Amino acid sequence: MKSVTNISPREPYVARSASNDTLLKEIYAQNWENAHHLRNGRVLGANVFAIVVAACLATLQFVRDDPIGQITLLGFLVVVSVIQLMMSIELKRELDECLDRIDLMIGDGDTRRYVALLAVPAGRASLMRLRCLYPAFYLVTAVALGIAFVRTVLPLIRGV
């Protein structure tokens, strides 16, 4: 018998028995709780990231005449953006894994249409899932801040 943590989301589901029902309910509940916490973590991370970026950009106005201060702040923002991008990708992967396991447990039955995150109306099925926007946002932010960093450093390098 395989351990619960080593079950692949794509592995065929083993037939239920009376002794498995309690365990199945607990696994199902744990996956939903985990998905809920992951979604909250992504929102919290986005809020903290926005506050850090806003504070650094506001501080950047006070160090306009200090190139070292500008480089330090922009470098810090680039590093924070890359870290947030990696965290967002990992949280998306974990959330998708939880939802795949829930999807596997529900199967193709009539219950699927009542599960909010799994039931996608046919008209919206082709739209990009919002879960993909978090990593894209952090990627664009990291690139933009990286460009600002390079544009700040290049004049200093050329002047030396």
Statement: the pTM of the whole predicted model exceeds 0.85: no
Q: Which of 8-12, 43-47, 107-111 has the lowest mean pLDDT?
A: 8-12
Whether residue 142 lies inside any domain: the answer is yes
Whether residue 8 lies inside any domain: the answer is no
Whether residue 100 lies inside any domain: the answer is yes
Burial of 12 (0-12, 13-18, 19+ CB in 10 A): exposed
In the DSSP assignment, the letter for residue 1 is -
Whether residue 118 lies inside any domain: the answer is yes
Whether residue 93 lies inside any domain: the answer is yes
**Single-letter amino acid code for the residue at 103:** D
Please give the residue that has the higher pLDDT: either 35 or 3: 35
- In order of 1, 22, 96, 113, the CA distances from 34 in angstroms are 24, 18, 11, 21
**Residue range of the domain that includes 99:** 17-159
In the DSSP assignment, the letter for residue 10 is T
Overall domain count for the chain: 1
Closest-CA residue to 92 (of 144, 46, 52, 149): 46
> How far, in Å, CA of 57 to CA of 150, rounded?
16
For 112-149, the DSSP string reads GGG-TTT---GGGTTSPPGGGHHHHHHHHHHHHHHHHH
Whether residue 1 lies inside any domain: the answer is no
Whether residue 10 lies inside any domain: the answer is no
Confidence band for 160, pLDDT divided at 50, 70 and 90: low
For 86-107, the DSSP string reads HHHHHHHHHHHHHHHHHHHHHT
What are 71-81's pLDDT values in tens digits? Answer: 899 999 999 99
% residues pLDDT > 90 (the chain): 20
39, 128 contact by CB (below 8 A) = no
Whether residue 43 lies inside any domain: the answer is yes
| pLDDT at residue 115 in the model | 66
